[in-house]
């Protein structure tokens, strides 16, 4: 697809958003070589970062696309740019955590670094710039947000929650324009973020690494569809390899720029290997009269696009235990 870039729509610390001539429903996302930390207090230019970030993001989004996740992403244009649906961005950072790292430990200092959450932790942060929200000064950008009784309470993200009262309570907050439906929209965002995390967690596990947390952003397309938007790259997550971070945390921790560059390059190369493994769904039932209706959704997904097969085994473990065990061992070894 030939894309003619239009006017600059927006520019942030690490990327530029361009319009597309002739199609106002699309945008071009261009990565920059800038790397920052501490709300921009630390800033460097890292040669090659734009290419590594774009490669990682596109590799991630292609996997999520194959999994049926609604995305703004359309396709990669070149080494530094990709094409996306133009969205109204929801001013939230949505964080999912498998382990306790980073600012979570500041809000919950009684936990040890690396504490594992059997059930994923979901958090929302209000996305702000210049310590301002709707013209009102706030003490810290990107505050932690808790929604209760149709109001959003804001907290300092780097202080223990148990010693804080909210520094601001909002009656109007992202997606609150529908008083009756905002809870459902937050639930949908949360469910989608968790589903995305589980997909990427497994992708990293297959490569022998651990995804411990990530932050993502969402947008609403011109057609009104909620989609995963922005980027997912080494600035967006923490990935652990042999006890060491292979992501932006290394830069935050003061590691050399050369080492950080090598890590970003490594992650770009590793995510090239992301893909859907061949799946095999085996449904075991005791008799022909046992209904398969409960498996309809899984069977539909398997037959609709997932590389794999569906096999139904009918054999009673109660009536034919030896034959059933033999069949089970044969299936496991195939």
Q: What are the tens digits of pLDDT across the range 49-107?
A: 999 999 999 999 999 999 999 999 999 999 999 999 999 999 999 999 999 999 999 99
pLDDT at 244 over 90: yes
Query: Does the structural domain 5-87 have CATH classification 3.30.200.20?
Result: yes
Q: Which residues contact 174 (CB under 8 A, 6 or more apart)?
A: 90, 91, 92, 126
Q: Which residue has the higher pLDDT, 200 or 305?
A: 200
Query: 126: Cβ–Cβ under 8 A, 6 or more apart, which residues?
Result: 91, 92, 133, 142, 143, 145, 152, 154, 173, 174
Model pLDDT, residue 139: 97
Taking residues 21-36, what's their average pLDDT? Answer: 96
Domains 5-87 and 89-254 share a fold: no
Q: How far apart are CA 107 and CA 158, in angstroms?
A: 6
pTM, two decimal places:
0.86
Separation CA 26–CA 55 (nearest Å)? 20
What is the predicted pLDDT for the residue at 228?
A: 99
- Chain centroid to CA 39: 21
Per-residue pLDDT for 268 more than 60? yes
Structure-block tokens of residue 255 = 């590691």
The H or E element that residue 241 is part of is strand 237-241
> What is the CATH number that goes with domain 89-254?
3.30.470.20
- The sign one gets for the Cα dihedral 155, 160, 162, 163 is negative
Residue 182 has pLDDT above 70, yes or no: yes
Task: Read off the pLDDT of each residue in 247-268 and give the average, rounded to a whole number.
Answer: 98
Q: What is the mean pLDDT of residues 25-38?
A: 96
Tell me 277's DSSP state. P
Ramachandran class of 111: left when φ > 0, alpha when ψ lies in -120 to 50, beta otherwise = beta
For the chain, give every domain's residue range: 5-87, 89-254, 279-333
């Amino acid at each position: 697809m030939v894309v003619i870039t239009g006017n600059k729509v927006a520019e942030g610390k690490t990327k530029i958003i361009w319009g597309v001539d002739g199609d106002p429903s699309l945008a071009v996302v261009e990565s920059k070589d800038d790397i920052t930390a501490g709300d921009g207090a630390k800033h460097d230019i890292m040669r090659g970062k734009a290419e590594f970030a774009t490669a990682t993001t596109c590799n991630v989004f292609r996997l999520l696309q194959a999994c049926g996740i609604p995305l703004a992403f359309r396709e990669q244009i070149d080494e530094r740019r990709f094409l996306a649906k133009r969205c109204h961005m929801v001013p939230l950072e949505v964080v999912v955590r498998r382990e306790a790292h980073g600012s979570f430990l500041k809000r919950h200092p009684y936990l040890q670094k690396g504490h594992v959450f059997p059930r994923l932790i979901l958090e929302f942060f209000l996305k702000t710039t210049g310590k301002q929200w709707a013209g009102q000064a706030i003490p810290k950008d990107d505050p932690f947000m808790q929604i209760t009784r149709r109001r959003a309470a804001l907290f300092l993200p780097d202080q223990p929650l148990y010693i804080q009262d909210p520094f601001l309570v909002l009656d109007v907050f992202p997606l609150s324009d529908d008083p009756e439906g905002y809870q459902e929209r937050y639930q949908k965002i949360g469910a989608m973020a968790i589903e995305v995390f589980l997909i990427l967690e497994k992708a990293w596990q297959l490569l022998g690494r651990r995804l411990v947390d990530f932050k993502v952003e969402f947008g609403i397309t011109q057609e009104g569809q909620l989609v995963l938007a922005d980027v997912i790259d080494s600035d967006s997550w923490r990935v652990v390899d042999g006890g060491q971070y292979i992501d932006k945390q290394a830069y935050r921790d003061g590691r050399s720029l050369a080492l950080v560059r090598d890590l970003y390059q490594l992650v770009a190369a590793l995510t090239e290997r992301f893909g859907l493994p061949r799946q095999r769904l085996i449904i075991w039932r005791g008799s022909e009269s046992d209904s398969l209706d409960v498996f309809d959704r899984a069977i539909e997904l398997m037959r609709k696009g997932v590389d794999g097969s569906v096999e139904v085994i009918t054999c009673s473990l109660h009536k034919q235990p030896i034959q059933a065990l033999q069949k089970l061992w044969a299936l496991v070894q195939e």
